[in-house]
Amino acid sequence: MRGLSRFVLIPFDVSPPMLITHFACLLSASVLAQSSDFGGDRRDVMPATLVLHAAARPQPEPTQAEKPAAPDRLDQIVGPSEPELMASGLQFTEGPVWVPAKDGKPGYLLFSDIPADTIYRLDPPKAGQTAKPEVFRSPSGKSNGLILDREGRLVICEHAGRVVRIETNGDLTVLAEKWEDKRLNSPNDLCVGKDGSIFFTDPPYGLGGPLGFARESETKIRGVYRIDPQGKLHLVVDDLETPNGIALSPDNKTLYIGNHGKGVVWSYPVKADGTVGEGKVFAELKAGQRRAGADGVRTDRDGNVYIGAGRSGVHVLDPTGELIGIIGLPRGATNLCFGGDDGRTLFVVAGDSVYRLRVKVPGAGM
């Protein structure tokens, strides 16, 4: 889109609705021209629906994989608030996690900026204001997904090929680095179970370019792994092309994984011993007639599933996989998390910016 012309010729005999369409297309192209595309195979910036402004609930064209949502379904969960900008001027944001208030100190948001090789801390500003993020850890191993374990320690997916944990004394512990003596690709995102197990995805997105480090894949597997409570690594899924976002249902009986390049979210039954059963397609993400990438995934207390789907916004699905609605953003949504003192703030990282949105149902485990 860098070669986009600045002028569009519109015939004199077009109707007013067509003029509006021409103008909307021009604005859409302008939005695309401002988007950053890191790496030739970076699919979470694939074109989907273009959001021209911060409309809270854009209505995509229905497709065979979508049933039109009742107008008030999303309002029952999200409305009537709209996304509010918290910070901007970053590079490519990912992996947000909320750190709760402790010892009288207020909670705050952590998130990764992958090309900047930095984890930032963001103290939520007052309504209507923005804030400047502070460096929390740099270099970060070009970190992506972040999560807190059952003891409140920060666990980090590094595109350098590791999953690490920051101990309470500040020491760094490597939790996973190799599978069968071969180095992991670029751990992307993760979630934590009630028993302390850590599930994470390992696509190849960090093997080169500004999002990672130039090296060949050693495992040749684009896997999903589980670190059990004893620290042993297990391969649980090995047949997804681009495993990305990952989350557990509130009861921990279902594991959701976004197969990003295919725009599909899979669900897997989680057995009592932590292994997973045969997966099935939970939802196909669409933006009009186009496929939308399945990036960050999180669930709320009622079991609804929230998925960052690039330029088409945040898709909200009920526990059966039916689309409830889509939360639109001015930038492509890459990842998200729940937080705030009551767990009812949805934080969304999107390109060079960070947004927040008040919701009615708190996040799972909040």
At 292, which CATH number?
2.120.10.30
Average confidence (pLDDT) over 168-192: 97
Contacts of 337 by beta carbon, 8 Å cutoff, 6+ apart: 96, 97, 98, 109, 298, 346, 347, 363
Distances (CA, A) of 41 to 37, 44, 45, 179, 209: 9, 9, 9, 24, 10
Contacts of 12 (CB under 8 A, 6+ apart): none
User: What pLDDT was estimated at residue 208?
Assistant: 87
Question: Average pLDDT for residues 257-283, to the nearest whole number?
Answer: 95
CA 181 to chain centre: 29
Per-residue pLDDT for 14 more than 70? no
* Mean per-residue pLDDT of the chain: 84
Give the domain extent around 266.
35-358
> What is the CA angle 355-94-297, rounded to 5?
85
Q: Say if 363 falls within a structural domain.
A: no
Predicted confidence band of residue 30 (pLDDT cuts 50, 70, 90): very low
Q: Is residue 27 part of a domain?
A: no
Q: Which of 201, 197, 102, 107 is nearest to 149 (CA)?
A: 197
pLDDT band per the 50, 70, 90 thresholds, residue 71: low
Length, in residues, of the chain:
366
**What pLDDT is stored for residue 87 in this prediction?**
98
Please tell me which residue, 50 or 68, carries the higher pLDDT value.
68
**Does 106 have pLDDT greater than 60?**
yes
| 312, part of any domain | yes
Domain count along the chain: 1
HSE-CB for 135 with a 13 A CA cutoff? 7
Q: Enumerate residues 6+ apart whose C-beta is below 8 A from 87.
A: 122, 130, 131, 132, 133, 353, 354
Q: pLDDT confidence of 152, banded at 50, 70, 90?
A: very high
pLDDT at 328 over 80: yes
